[in-house]
Amino acid sequence: MKATELRKELHFAIDNIQDESLLEAVYTILNKGMNEYVLPNDQKKELTKRLESHEKGLSSSIPWKKSLKTIKGKLTR
């Protein structure tokens, strides 16, 4: 069965579940693999370094809205 067909079948099956505990079990199973991303060691080191820099006030940051405005301004030029 192709992935698209399998997704359709899963959607159909989930939509028809009446038992709340079964629905919670399906939810748990489906979300288990989504939250288990492991960073490689070099990325962990870089993340730790950047977090420490940020906590010491050594990194610069700008508010989301300001950065979005800057990006949009550059795209319209």
> pTM of this prediction?
0.41
pLDDT given at position 66: 93
* Rounded distance between C-alpha atoms, residue 9 and residue 4, angstroms: 9
Q: What pLDDT sits at residue 62?
A: 87
Question: 15 near 8, Cβ under 8 Å?
Answer: no
pLDDT, averaged in runs of 10, over the chain (77 residues)? 92 93 90 77 95 90 90 89
pLDDT of residue 31: 84
End-to-end CA gap in the chain: 48
